Structures are given as structure tokens and as C-alpha cells.
Chains A and B, each alone.
Chain A
């Protein structure tokens, strides 16, 4: 869980430098991209949105007032971009083979327990949820946002968040059990 104080020094600053931006991308880049993907279900769009989030954060850090965590603030930008379906294209750099680090997914004991098949099944079930339910579920479980944070992020009441989370859990549970039969 992120400390709210971690990026508190950016509150009331009008600009950040590129090294701070780089640190921010390192700390939250994966989360932002995954959240954008959870909303859009489109890899390329999620990638563009994630990059645009940090550009916007760089240009408007003055708008970060510290009322939410840095992560929630970035998620708010990501959500607005995703909803508005803003797309940007970026020039990608060339990475020659000698630089390429083979990407391997760290497998935990839990991941080993789940077969690749069941992992895909869970993901498919969750991605088949409506955006509203999927978003609440992923923000709660994967990104560990509180009800209040999610409510603020989605501009809905806490009660609505609880209700959506309950419905999402119920649907996933049901479909997951059906697969077992």
C-alpha cells in the first residue's frame, strides 16, 4: 500500500523535473497501464493512455493537492482519458537484441498452483464483467484502493461502490463455480 506521504512533496509545486517524472513512471507506470487496460480492454489504447497520463501529470502537477494519494490522482487522469478515448501515438525507440532483457513472469507459489488454463478463465470472467463492475473489482483487489478512494475516483457514492463490488463478486463467484461443474 502506498504511503500518502511518499509524493507529498509534489503538493503545491508548479512543476516537476524529468528525474521526478521518471521516478513516478517507475513507481506507478505498471499500475496505470494495467488500470487503463482493465477499462479499455485494448492493449495499444491502454499503452497510449498510460503514457498520456504521465505527460498530463508532468504538465499539471500543480493540480495535485495531496487530497488523494498520488496513485489515485494518476488513476483519475487515466480514467478520464480512458473514458474520453483519447489516443496518442508515440515514437518508440529501437531496442537492439544485445539490450533486450528476456521478459519472464515471476511465478509465485499461488500462480504455480493455478494452471495457466484457470488463470485465463478467471481473467476472461472478469473481463466479461461490465466496465463498472470490473473497474471496482480490480481497483479493490489488485490496486488495493479503499472504498472512499474508489468512490472519489469514480465520482459515485461509497454505497454505490459497495453495491457494485458485491455484485461483481457474486457474478465472478457464480461463473467460476459453473466452470467447476
Chain B
């Protein structure tokens, strides 16, 4: 074989299609598709499991039926009626604009996948703006009370920032009454399908919430809060690698963020004070044991503890002083 042949063969051995990678985005799509299309055996297993569970429940009901002893049927909890909640400043590194987040870095709190301080400002939460002329619009969706979400590709001669190889779809938005109507906020790659937009309030101020319920490969949701500065410029205010809800739990007129993780079944409450996040763990405050689970019911604003033994306790959060107060779970 000649040197010339060796040259091209070596090239082929190293791969001709380096751009053709199986990205995280593709993995996530497959994992989502798996959830949508359970395997045959999974379906069979679910049916079988349903039968088994029904059988077990029937046996348990039969064994535990009160038969004249009413005490046996009542869940007795030793939980205290009022549990204090202590908030503390969040110790987390500050992210720089455009910084690459290494997934190997430690989480800021157990079960919460953020690697940096979720709270950002006009500098590290800066969103670049590009000319509308630079884009080829594919789709748009109005966001009530905010503006219009845009799905587009960049034109070949565009000078807009693009860190992605190829010609991916992008996502951005225009804001009602923005000073430069010929510009748009150029937010990221991907499209709008699966995203939920809503105007809400967080820490006492109006924000745009962008939510993706299935976002990360580990199944966690992602939430981005955007807000305007005094000059009407939009920037990323907070971003979370978990589901997040806003509610004024303590009645001080400022909405707290209730962060709910799948990993480790954690619920955190975030407050903002002088530009700093304060946090408290509902799981810790309510002394939830490792075997028990905790849920947040956003409609009712209640925190529910499900014990392995089958009992359930419900708590609400109250301010002054911050605490969880036990409530009748049947009322919640």
C-alpha cells in the first residue's frame, strides 16, 4: 500500500463525520420517547403489578379492618403541630456570562442540580439582542402580558452570535413596547414546543416564567425567570434545574420560590433578601424520615408527608416566625 493510500485510509479511520454526534439533546428525546411508548414487557408488567397491588391492598384492608376497634384504622402521627423553619444564606459560586457548566461539579444543595447560584443579575444574566433582519422566522407564539416568543434559524449571512455548529433552530422573544422594535432577544437553541410561558410574580416583582417540565436527562424540570431592569432591558433573573412554584407563603407580600426536585425528593423554599438567596429545606424542617416522601401541592399551598406505613400528614407554611403548622390532611 502506498503512502498516499495510507493517508486517506488514516483519515477515514479517524472518522469522516465528526459533526455527526449523538448529542445530549438526542438522548433526552429518546428517553422522553421511551416514557411515551412503554415497552411491551413494561406494559405487561404494569398490568401484572396492578393485579398484585390490588391483591395486596385487599389483604391489607381485610387484616386492618377495624372490626369494632376504631383506633386501629386511624393514622397516628407523632409529628409536632408547629415546626420552626430557619432560613440561611445560600452559599454558591457565582456564574459568569456564557460560562460552560460542568455537570461533574457539585450540586448547590442535595438533590438540586444547579451548580452555581441560581440568582443572576443584569451582567451574568445578560441576554444578547440581534436584528430581526438576521433571522428566518419559523414560528411565533404570543406570551400574554409580555411579548412574542420566536422560533427561527439564523440567515447564512447573519453576524449574530452562534456557538453552535450547523444551522440549528433558535429560540428568542420580543417584548411589548421594547425600545428597539427591530431587535429581538436571542435566547438559545431549540424550539418552543414543550415550553410553558407565563407571567407570574417572584420575590415581590413581575417576572416571565419559562418552564420545561421534562428538560434534563435525569428527568428534572428546568425553569427560567426573566425580568426587566429599570430601563426595560430583559435579563435572566433566576434559573433552576428543578420544578419551581411561586407563592407568598409567609404573607409578607413577596412570593417565595418553592423548589421541588425529583432527585432525593427534596423541597426547598427560597427567599430573596438584598439580592441574596436564603434557603430552607422543607424536608429537614418537617423532619421527614428517609423512607417517607414529601410533596408540595401548589393548588392548596400545602406540604404533605406520606409515610411508608401509609399515613399522611399535611402542613402549611406560616410567617412570623417562619414555621410549618400541621393541618388536618382531610381539609387540605
By a beta-carbon cutoff of 8 Å, the part of chain A in contact with chain B is 14-15, 18, 21-22, 25-26, 28-30, 32-34, 37-38, 43, 46-47, 50-51, 54-55, 58-59, 62, 90-103, 105, 108, 110-111, 114, 118-119, 122-123, 125-127, 137-138, 141-142, 169, 172-173, 176-177, 180
- Which 7 A-B pairs give the minimum distances between C-beta atoms? A29-B22, A94-B190, A96-B188, A90-B29, A141-B12, A59-B39, A34-B17
- Could you tell me the distance between the alpha carbons of A34 and B23 in the complex, rounded to whole angstroms? 12
A10–chain B nearest beta-carbon distance, Å:
14
Partner pick for B189 among A21, A94, A102, CB 8 A cutoff: A94
- Could you tell me the distance between the alpha carbons of A141 and B20 in the complex, rounded to whole angstroms? 17
Q: Are B12 and A103 in contact (CB under 8 A)?
A: no
Q: Are A110 and B8 in contact (CB under 8 A)?
A: no
Q: Within 8 Å of chain A (Cβ to Cβ): is B59?
A: no
CB contacts (< 8 Å) of B31 on chain A: these are 18, 21-22
Q: Within 8 Å of chain A (Cβ to Cβ): is B273?
A: no
Could you give 16 example pairs across A and B, Cβ below 8 Å?
Answer: A33-B21, A34-B20, A37-B17, A43-B166, A91-B193, A94-B189, A96-B187, A97-B187, A100-B100, A100-B163, A100-B164, A103-B21, A125-B8, A141-B13, A142-B13, A176-B4
Known contacts A22-B217, A142-B13: A122-B30 contact under CB 8 Å: no
B38–chain A nearest beta-carbon distance, Å:
9
B40–chain A nearest beta-carbon distance, Å:
7
Q: Are A26 and B27 in contact (CB under 8 A)?
A: yes
- Could you tell me the distance between the alpha carbons of A15 and B34 in the complex, rounded to whole angstroms? 12
Q: Within 8 Å of chain A (Cβ to Cβ): is B144?
A: no
Interface SS of chain A: helix, strand, loop or mixed?
helix
Q: Are B4 and A100 in contact (CB under 8 A)?
A: no
- Could you tell me the distance between the alpha carbons of A38 and B9 in the complex, rounded to whole angstroms? 16
- Could you tell me the distance between the alpha carbons of A30 and B14 in the complex, rounded to whole angstroms? 13
- Could you tell me the distance between the alpha carbons of A22 and B7 in the complex, rounded to whole angstroms? 35
CB contacts (< 8 Å) of A62 on chain B: these are 41
Interface residues of B in 213-243 (CB under 8 A from A): 215, 217, 224, 236, 239
Known contacts A21-B34, A91-B29: A30-B22 contact under CB 8 Å: yes
Q: Are A55 and B188 in contact (CB under 8 A)?
A: no
Interface residues of B in 191-215 (CB under 8 A from A): 191-195, 212, 215
B288–chain A nearest beta-carbon distance, Å:
26
- Could you tell me the distance between the alpha carbons of A62 and B72 in the complex, rounded to whole angstroms? 47
Q: Within 8 Å of chain A (Cβ to Cβ): is B15?
A: yes
Interface residues of B in 23-59 (CB under 8 A from A): 25-34, 37, 39-42, 45
Known contacts A22-B27, A177-B4: A43-B20 contact under CB 8 Å: yes
Q: Within 8 Å of chain A (Cβ to Cβ): is B18?
A: yes
- Could you tell me the distance between the alpha carbons of A61 and B7 in the complex, rounded to whole angstroms? 39
Q: Are A37 and B20 in contact (CB under 8 A)?
A: yes
Known contacts A58-B39, A98-B98, A102-B100: A25-B22 contact under CB 8 Å: yes
- Could you tell me the distance between the alpha carbons of A5 and B210 in the complex, rounded to whole angstroms? 45
Known contacts A34-B15, A99-B101: A29-B21 contact under CB 8 Å: yes
CB contacts (< 8 Å) of A137 on chain B: these are 12
Q: Are A119 and B11 in contact (CB under 8 A)?
A: yes
A4–chain B nearest beta-carbon distance, Å:
21
A125 — nearest CB in chain B belongs to which residue? B8
Known contacts A92-B25, A141-B9: A98-B215 contact under CB 8 Å: no
A97–chain B nearest beta-carbon distance, Å:
5
Given A90-B30, A92-B190, 11 more A-B residue pairs with CB atoms under 8 Å apart are A15-B41, A18-B31, A25-B27, A29-B22, A34-B15, A38-B17, A50-B22, A100-B163, A119-B11, A123-B17, A173-B2
Partner pick for A93 among B7, B8, B25, B42, CB 8 A cutoff: B25
- Could you tell me the distance between the alpha carbons of A62 and B44 in the complex, rounded to whole angstroms? 14
- Could you tell me the distance between the alpha carbons of A50 and B193 in the complex, rounded to whole angstroms? 21
Q: Are B14 and A100 in contact (CB under 8 A)?
A: no
Known contacts A38-B17, A102-B163: A51-B190 contact under CB 8 Å: no
CB contacts (< 8 Å) of B4 on chain A: these are 173, 176-177, 180
CB contacts (< 8 Å) of A125 on chain B: these are 8
Q: Within 8 Å of chain A (Cβ to Cβ): is B5?
A: yes
Q: Are B215 and A93 in contact (CB under 8 A)?
A: yes
Q: Are B14 and A58 in contact (CB under 8 A)?
A: no
Partner pick for B11 among A25, A50, A122, CB 8 A cutoff: A122
- Could you tell me the distance between the alpha carbons of A15 and B14 in the complex, rounded to whole angstroms? 34
B192 — nearest CB in chain A belongs to which residue? A94
The residue in B99, B189, B224 that gathers the most chain A C-beta atoms within 10 A of its C-beta is B189
- Could you tell me the distance between the alpha carbons of A51 and B2 in the complex, rounded to whole angstroms? 39
The residue in A38, A51, A110, A141 that gathers the most chain B C-beta atoms within 10 A of its C-beta is A141
Q: Within 8 Å of chain A (Cβ to Cβ): is B165?
A: yes
CB contacts (< 8 Å) of B130 on chain A: these are none
